[in-house]
């Protein structure tokens, strides 16, 4: 089969790799129908996050079950399914508590020795604890497939940030970052009942999506100017809830500074700029809480899926380019050069 592998910075290739097969009785093999490139994949592409030459890559996919191990009971051959970006056993203490990302038997797609999501098929360990069945009739609906694919990571991650930021009806929310996760954070905040949603971003095509998702205001400035602009929009008080979806020192510093006293920051941007932006003194003095981290997408997919299916939310607009598997290297370049927001791979 063919799959995307990384050989070094700026070196993404589509190569022949061993076929995905059932190795354990709890495994399933999923033939990928749709996958995508994540902003966090770019850190490996840029050489910031280290990968072994030839390592698989990609962690967001949905597809059709082609084979199952003897112990798999929740899915059958032919089922359309979506996988969260981390596999998990579904029965450990952490999974039962809704923190599937801490499962002792879990792992990330594309980690050494595992299949990546950007390939023709994926071996799924612990299929019963990982995969979520989708309605079979969705297979022919490209918009719906894209919306459901977003649940594998970006929509679930935006929702996780909104929960960590304590978004609730009637509050003011500020979202730092105009990537796919930040935009899904806007959509999540709207879904949870926020009254005012301030999107921080400088790219019109992206902030237009933010407005369509429910943003009431857009702040294009950065740094101190952005802090001042948010304060002006909030009568000098700041936002009750702040979603941080970038992961740099500056973005975290901005997020804490624009939070209202007694507010909360939900951070989900993968850290890649140090931790100096976490001002403990400011947090303490103003009673600003900070929470978040890796989103347990498997815990959120069922409730978010219900809202996608009934039309309450539609995260599909975050995908602004579609490529075939052979074109994945071009998709990485487009996202790296910011000529694409989020690239979907159609098989």
Per-residue model confidence as pLDDT tens digits over 20-66: 999 999 999 999 999 999 999 999 999 988 899 999 999 999 999 99
Strands of the sheet with 2-8, listed across from one edge: 11-16, 2-8, 55-56
pTM above 0.75, yes or no: yes
The residue to which tokens 């806007």 are assigned:
186
Percent of the chain with pLDDT over 70: 99
Q: Tell me, what's the pLDDT at 230?
A: 98
- CA dist., res. 182 & res. 206, Å (int): 10
- CA dist., res. 331 & res. 60, Å (int): 15
| Domains of the chain with bracketed CATH | 2-153+296-346 (3.90.180.10), 158-292 (3.40.50.720)
Query: Quick check: 166 pLDDT over 60?
Result: yes
Asked if residues 60 and 152 have their Cβ atoms less than 8 Å apart, the reply is: yes
- CA dist., res. 304 & res. 300, Å (int): 6
């Amino acid at each position: 089969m063919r799959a995307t592998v990384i050989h070094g910075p700026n070196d993404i290739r589509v190569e022949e790799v061993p076929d995905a097969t059932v190795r354990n009785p709890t495994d399933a093999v999923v033939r990928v129908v749709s996958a995508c490139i994540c902003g966090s994949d770019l850190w490996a592409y840029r050489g910031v996050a280290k990968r072994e030459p030839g390592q698989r890559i990609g962690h967001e996919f949905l597809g059709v079950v082609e084979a199952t191990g003897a112990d798999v009971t929740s899915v059958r051959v032919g089922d359309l399914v979506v996988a969260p970006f981390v596999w998990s056993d579904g029965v450990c203490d952490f999974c039962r508590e809704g923190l599937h990302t801490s499962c002792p038997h879990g792992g990330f797609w594309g980690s050494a020795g595992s299949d990546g999501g950007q390939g023709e098929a994926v071996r799924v360990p612990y299929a019963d604890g990982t995969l979520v069945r989708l309605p079979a009739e969705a297979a022919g609906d490209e918009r719906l497939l894209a919306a459901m694919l977003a649940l594998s990571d970006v929509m679930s991650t935006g929702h996780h940030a909104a929960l960590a930021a304590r978004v609730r009806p009637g509050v003011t929310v500020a979202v730092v970052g105009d990537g796919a996760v930040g935009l899904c954070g806007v959509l999540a905040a709207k879904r949870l009942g926020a009254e005012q949603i301030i999107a921080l971003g400088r790219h019109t095509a992206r902030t237009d999506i933010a407005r369509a998702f429910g943003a009431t205001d857009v702040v294009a400035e950065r740094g101190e100017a952005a802090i001042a602009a948010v304060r002006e929009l909030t009568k000098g008080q700041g936002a009750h809830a702040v979603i941080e979806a970038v992961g740099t020192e500056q973005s975290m510093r901005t997020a804490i500074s624009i939070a209202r006293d007694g507010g909360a920051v939900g951070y989900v941007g993968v850290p890649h700029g140090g931790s100096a932006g976490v001002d403990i003194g400011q947090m303490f003095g103003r009673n600003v809480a900070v929470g978040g981290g890796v989103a347990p997408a498997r815990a959120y997919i069922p409730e978010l899926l219900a809202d996608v299916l009934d039309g309450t939310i539609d995260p599909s607009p975050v995908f602004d380019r579609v490529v075939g598997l052979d074109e994945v290297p071009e998709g990485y370049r487009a996202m790296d050069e910011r000529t694409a927001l989020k690239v979907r791979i159609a098989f």
